[in-house]
Chain A
Amino acid sequence: MNDIFRIPSVSWRCLRVWQRDRDAYMKFYKLSLLGNLGDPILYLVAMGYGLGRFLNQIEGMTYLEFIAPGLVISSSMFAASFECTYGSFLRMIYLKTYDAIIATPLSIEDVVSGDILWGTTKGMISGTIMFAVVGAFGLIDSVWAAGIPLLIVLVSFLFASLSMAATSFVKTFEAFNYYITLFLTPMFFFSGVFFPLNRLPDWVSVVSKFLPLTYAVEISRALIYGQPSWIVPVGLALLLGPALFFYCVSINLMKRRVIQ
């Protein structure tokens, strides 16, 4: 059990795996972008404009303004998560890419770490583009929004690591439903992206306090609309801690799975 919680020895060579993932991505990046950005942009337009017409202001914002920051962050979450679940699982189990790479000077720690870095990168790509889209809608009205990229990096890294940890337990593609349908999707809806949590039953807001996305959404709203408060540093710490924890644990778990 102790091996799961120790700090893995990762070398700079993990960048070679990141490069490999990048090269593979560059061949099909248009399709991949469509997959990662189609949903959040649709939500922004359909919910923001469509549903927003029928709603009063929320916390002094139009509905479009209310949901835009959370959609930037959740697009990072989903892009990083899909990469380190389906993408990594496919490479590990079906394509045996991991096996091929660990026959070279790279170790399994390097390979998993490289994949997490790549998942982080994909989250950053999606989040950054969504951030630009939100900007194009004219929704950014504070210099504090310059802090959003940092938040995107952190959220992407957290969900890439968390997803990799989930992947280390998964035996079939279908099993990802546990993680995605029972964890990611509910989190997407109950972390304050679409509605304020303080109007919901108490237990919902209690549960939401344990969801990392809740803090990320709050921070994103605070930054984009220039109302920074104590939630920014505290929230960032609450994201960084679990991110580093799951980064280490997921590498150790994957090592236990692959090296037998």
Chain B
Amino acid sequence: MVPIILAKGLTKRFGDLIAVDGIDFTIHEREYFGFLGPNGAGKTSTIRMLYGHSPMTDGQLKVLGLDIRTTARRIKEQIGVVSQENNLDTDLSVLENLLVYARYFNMPKREARRRADELMAFMQLEAKEKSRVEQLSGGMKRRLVLARALINRPKILLLDEPTTGLDPQARHLIWQRLRSLKSGGTALVLTTHYMDEAAQLCDRVAVMDAGRIIATGSPQELVRERVGAEVLELRIAPALDAQVLRSIADLDIETERYGDTLYLYLPEGHTLAKTLTDRLIGINHSEMIHRQATLEDLFLRLTGRELVEH
């Protein structure tokens, strides 16, 4: 596996605030890699350092084997960026947005036109070729930003929260398109706080919190290792927690209380779900949900279920 992004001790400080606190990570060719974390965890700062928008404060960073501090132009020629805001050119039409962007990459006119047509078809925007940006729906704007980021056939596509605020149909269309880029060999680096997005797209994720990476691995492995295979959610009065814990004391089960719910994490291969439900049925509760453990559980276990505003 060839590494295309190598970060060691990567740090970003804004005055006294440490946004990214000396993180290490490696991203490989063709890999789909996600940075997960709550708002303020340092995801956007990290991705902005990758394309030189935000100069790194400290550490080492190699993108496509080059140093971003000295060869930003050559790196930027080979990457595509979908930033958090739709920074489309509202003075221009859909087609013009693509053509003008192609010109920033020095693409010859005829090639730019061909590529723009290709990308409008790929992103289902052909019918909107002449529309102005304000006339597009949220999903279309996002697709246009994505089409624009692909204009230079990038080796790495950086996406900062690609589907935040979109409706389910729009999100799925974008996910499909992003997955279909895999066959072309593009690597993908995204930030998200949607667990389903990470599960849909990422080969590996890094969970970030307060500027640090607190876990890295494939989503499935991470969930299995850190959460377990299944989760039992018990809506039960906190006063009854002790009774529940006593009744399952002989079983190897981790629990966590948050709000109105007691979470029970069942390790992999645990066949005791049935036993467990039998035992708990006698304790007065309003609801019991037995389900697969997800990335969401991992995320919330690692970063805490409490809402922390950074």
Contact = CB atoms under 8 A, between A and B. Distances in A.
Q: Is the interface of B mostly helix, strand, loop or mixed?
A: loop
Contacts, number: 64
A102 B53 contact: yes
Interface string A58-75: 000000000000000000
Contact of A97 (B54, B89, B103, B106): B89
A23 B92 contact: yes
Nearest to B78: A105
A106 interface: yes
Contacts of A104: 76, 101, 104-105, 152
A249 B87 CA distance: 26
Interface in B86-130: 87-92, 96, 100-101, 103-106
Given A27-B91, A95-B87, A95-B89, A103 B76 contact: yes
Given A13-B104, A23-B100, A100-B83, 7 more contacts: A20-B100, A24-B89, A96-B87, A99-B83, A99-B85, A103-B81, A107-B72
Interface string A97-135: 101111111110000000000000000000000000000
Interface in B47-85: 51-55, 72-74, 76-77, 81, 83, 85
Contacts of A105: 73-74, 76-77, 104-106
Contacts of A102: 52-53
Contact of A100 (B52, B89, B96): B89
Interface of A: 13, 16, 19-20, 23-24, 27-28, 95-97, 99-107, 259-260
B101 A259 contact: no
Contacts of B54: 259-260
Q: How large is the interface on B (under 10, 10 to 19, 20 to 34, 35 or more residues)?
A: 20 to 34
Nearest to A98: B87
15 contacts: A13-B106, A19-B100, A20-B89, A20-B100, A23-B92, A95-B89, A96-B83, A99-B53, A100-B83, A102-B53, A104-B101, A104-B152, A105-B73, A105-B105, A260-B14
Nearest to B88: A100
A104 B81 CA distance: 8
Nearest to B86: A96
A174 B91 CA distance: 23
Contact of B91 (A24, A99, A100, A106): A24
Contact of B83 (A95, A103, A260): A103
Contacts of A101: 104
Give the residue among B101, B103, B104, B148 with the most A Cβ atoms within 10 A. Answer: B104
Interface string B231-270: 0000000000000000000000000000000000000000
Given A103-B81, A259-B53, A16 B103 contact: yes
A37 B74 CA distance: 43
